[in-house]
Amino acid sequence: MDIIETLKILWNDSGFHSFFVNGGYKNLIMIIVSFGLLFMGIKWKFEPLLLVGIAFGCLLVNVSNFGPGSTDALYHPELWDNFLNSAHPDYHSYGAIMREGGLLDILYIGVKAGIYPSLIFLGVGAMTDFGPLIANPKSLLLGAAAQMGVFLAFFGAVCLGFTGNEAASIGIIGGADGPTAIFLTTRLAPHLLGPIAIAAYSYMALIPMIQPPLMKLLTTEKERKIKMEQARQVSKTEKIIFPIIVSVFVILLLPSTAPLVGCLMLGNLWRECGVTERLSDTVQNALMNIVTVFLGISVGSTTAAARFLTPETLKIVALGLIAFCFSTIGGLLVGKIMCKLSGGKINPLIGSAGVSAVPMAARVSQIEGQKANPSNFLLMHAMGPNVAGVIGSALAAGFLLAVFN
Amino acid sequence: MLFDNASNAVNEIVETVTETAADASEMSIPDAAITAVFGYAVVFFGLVILMIVLYCLGAYFKKKGAKAAKDKTAPVITAEAAPAKELPLAPGSAGHVKLYDVPDKEAAMIMAIVADKMQKPLNELHFISIKEVK
């Protein structure tokens, strides 16, 4: 046995060698990025349930994939290129993915088919109390207003040279709704899934830092001090009828929202109807956790260095921040209008909760309200726009899907 | 006639937006602006309609709830209050407490908790009524 030759073969096969050839240094950069994301998730608790999985998926793909020749890679972007190429024999062939793909390719099928985001919505529906929204339907206006960032970022992305499909996927970051962003991006611009998902979840985690300065800038001290009257009690029957009405109405209006809105409302119906507690418990806990495991790691796998380290990623990160800021501004401005029209009965701070990061955005409204007036309790009032934002972002995604798909 | 005209106008806008978006790679800035404004309007329209539906639903249930409460409260008060008159007052008592859908044991517990939280002896507090909030 020629030890030197064997060592040479081992070195040439190793990932360490790959760092020095064919732009392998980019993988090294992405490995460092994954460490940064892991740090953010674990140390700073930035959406840890998803970010830790995404970061580790990013790490796994970048230590195993050094370009098209990487046979042992866990994820193969080129297979997914073939999957989307209508001229290729493997066009829309999940069989080819199962046959030739790695572990992360197989897990990614759930993202590609839109299964994981929809199942996450099932769990979100089962965990959400729509009572504050039913008690105060005006909250829906704030949820609608807070989609402003989606369409402004879409416009901005087109101005920066992105295609319509890519711009729509970037814009939806402003909806502050991770599953919706993933759902829309896999359909319209799957090659941008990595940066869009990371931007969406990072900004959602940064809401307590992004929103308060805008809230203070756009509202007066007097407005922030406004105490809101307690909302009415919502009956059980109303809570049961609500998901049924929303499903029928929203899906008839925009059929492309069916997977998201349908699952969201089914989960909520299981929660509220009182006869399916076991199912509600399962989707809130076991199923939600299982899907989160698969979703995080498979989204992370789309961050292969060659695809991720591009100038477009920086543009997406910047546009995502703009989308978030303008969504907050949209909600606050309509909140101010409602405050004026109601004769000062509505605290405009609840408008910023119209972005659908539940319940983080509502908590920020509560904290800022209480800073201005320690006896102020805005949490339940802010939950109305917050859950309205979930429906609003699903509607925005449905519109963009209907137009661009 | 009016409905047909409105419907045609909406169809035309939808067709324009869909056509401009059809060749997504060549989307111009004015087309993007139209799509953005129209999209925002659609989201608003959808949620405003949903708001109206929820208001109607809420109004119906509020009316129903108010009627049910009216029917329910009157006989309960008389039924609970009537036998209380017959009971003699305990020494040092400030009077009887009216209970609405609350068992005696729970009422005693609530009074004890309130006294404890307020750090006042129970015989210095006067409870008028205890009602379960449903």
- Residue A389 Cα, gap to closest chain B Cα (Å): 10
How many Cβ pairs within 8 Å bridge chains A and B?
A: 110
In eight-state DSSP terms, residue A275 is S
A106 exposure class (CB count in 10 Å sphere: 0-12, 13-18, 19+): middle
**Residues of B with Cβ-Cβ distance to A235 under 8 angstroms:** 61, 65
- Compare A203 and A268 and report the one with higher pLDDT: A268
CB-nearest partner of A403 from B18, B33, B51: B18
Sole residue written with tokens 């609003």: A392
- Compare A181 and A16 and report the one with higher pLDDT: A181
- pLDDT tens-digit series, residues A20-71: 887 788 889 999 999 999 999 999 988 888 889 999 999 999 988 777 667 7
Sole residue written with tokens 């992405």: A30
CB-nearest partner of B65 from A141, A155, A235: A235
Largest CA distance in chain B: 90
Q: Residue A241 and residue B65: Cβ atoms within 8 Å?
A: no
H or E segment and range at residue A301: none
> Minimum mean pLDDT among A168-177, A215-224, B101-110, B117-126: which range?
B117-126
pLDDT at residue B14 is higher than 80: no
- pLDDT tens-digit series, residues A122-154: 999 999 999 999 999 999 999 999 999 999 999
What ranges do the domains of chain A cover? 26-64+114-404
Residue B94 and residue B106 in one domain: yes
Q: What is the pLDDT of residue A124?
A: 94
H or E segment and range at residue B129: strand B129-131
Q: Residue B47 and residue A143: Cβ atoms within 8 Å?
A: yes
Q: Residue B57 and residue A245: Cβ atoms within 8 Å?
A: yes
What does A377-390 look like in DSSP terms, one character per residue?
--HHHHHHHHHHHH
- Compare A12 and A279 and report the one with higher pLDDT: A279
pLDDT at residue A249 is higher than 60: yes
Tell me what the mean pLDDT of segment B31-36 comes to.
95
Q: Residue B46 and residue A395: Cβ atoms within 8 Å?
A: yes
pLDDT at residue B128 is higher than 60: yes
Q: Residue B25 and residue A396: Cβ atoms within 8 Å?
A: no
Instruction: Answer whether A255's CB lies under 8 Å from A394's CB.
Output: no
- pLDDT category at A267 given cuts 50, 70, 90 is very high
Q: What is the pLDDT of residue B16?
A: 59
- pLDDT winner (highest mean) among A60-69, A92-101, A211-220, A230-239: A211-220
Chain B interface mutation, best of A169, A403, A404, A405, highest count of B Cβ atoms under 10 Å: A403
Residue B74 and residue B105 in one domain: no
> Minimum mean pLDDT among A94-108, A294-308, A377-391, B70-84: which range?
B70-84
- Of A393, A309, A318, the residue nearest A357 (C-alpha): A393
Tell me what the mean pLDDT of segment A337-350 comes to.
94
What are the structure tokens assigned to A313, written together?
């990623």
ipTM, two decimals: 0.85
Tell me what the mean pLDDT of segment A161-166 comes to.
94
Sole residue written with tokens 């369409």: A151
- pLDDT category at B61 given cuts 50, 70, 90 is confident
- pLDDT tens-digit series, residues A81-93: 899 888 999 998 9
- pLDDT category at B93 given cuts 50, 70, 90 is low
Q: What is the pLDDT of residue B74?
A: 62
pLDDT at residue B87 is higher than 80: no
pLDDT at residue A339 is higher than 60: yes
pLDDT at residue A240 is higher than 90: yes
pLDDT at residue A222 is higher than 70: yes
Tell me what the mean pLDDT of segment A199-220 comes to.
92
- Residue A159 Cα, gap to closest chain B Cα (Å): 6
pLDDT at residue B78 is higher than 60: no
pLDDT at residue B7 is higher than 60: no
**Residues of A with Cβ-Cβ distance to B40 under 8 angstroms:** 147-148, 150-151
- pLDDT category at B70 given cuts 50, 70, 90 is confident
What are the structure tokens assigned to A113, written together?
């088919």
Residue B76 and residue B96 in one domain: no
Task: Give the other-Cβ count within 10 Å of B12's Cβ.
Answer: 10
pLDDT at residue B29 is higher than 60: yes
- Residue A327 Cα, gap to closest chain B Cα (Å): 12
Residue B11 and residue B77 in one domain: yes
Domain count, chain B: 2
> Minimum mean pLDDT among A369-373, B27-31, B58-62, B123-127: which range?
B123-127
**Numbered residues of chain B with Cβ closer than 8 Å to any chain A Cβ:** 17-18, 21, 24-25, 27, 29, 32-33, 35-37, 39-40, 42-44, 46-55, 57-58, 61-62, 65, 134
Residue B77 and residue B121 in one domain: no
Task: Identify the domain containing residue B57 by its residue range.
Answer: 1-86
Residue B81 and residue B93 in one domain: no
Q: What is the pLDDT of residue B111?
A: 87
Residue B26 and residue B49 in one domain: yes
pLDDT at residue B67 is higher than 60: yes
Q: Residue A154 and residue B29: Cβ atoms within 8 Å?
A: no
H or E segment and range at residue B99: strand B98-100
- pLDDT category at B69 given cuts 50, 70, 90 is confident
Residue B43 and residue B104 in one domain: no
3-state secondary structure of B131: strand
Nearest CA in chain A to B34: A155
Residue B5 and residue B24 in one domain: yes
Q: What is the pLDDT of residue B21?
A: 55
Residue B60 and residue B19 in one domain: yes
**Residues of A with Cβ-Cβ distance to B55 under 8 angstroms:** 137
Residue B10 and residue B68 in one domain: yes
Decide if A328 touches B, using CB distance below 8 A: no
- Compare A216 and A304 and report the one with higher pLDDT: A216
Q: What is the pLDDT of residue A151?
A: 96
Q: What is the pLDDT of residue A33?
A: 93
Q: Residue B21 and residue A404: Cβ atoms within 8 Å?
A: yes
Q: What percent of chain B has pLDDT over 70?
A: 63
Tell me what the mean pLDDT of segment B11-36 comes to.
71
Q: Which residues contact A392 (CB under 8 A, 6 or more apart)?
A: A140, A143, A144, A146, A147, A175, A354, A356, B43, B47
- pLDDT tens-digit series, residues A301-337: 888 888 888 999 999 999 999 999 999 999 999 999 9
Q: Residue B35 and residue A154: Cβ atoms within 8 Å?
A: yes
**Residues of A with Cβ-Cβ distance to B33 under 8 angstroms:** 155
Q: What is the pLDDT of residue B89?
A: 66
Q: What is the pLDDT of residue A86?
A: 87
Residue B23 and residue B63 in one domain: yes
CB-nearest partner of B33 from A144, A155, A399: A155
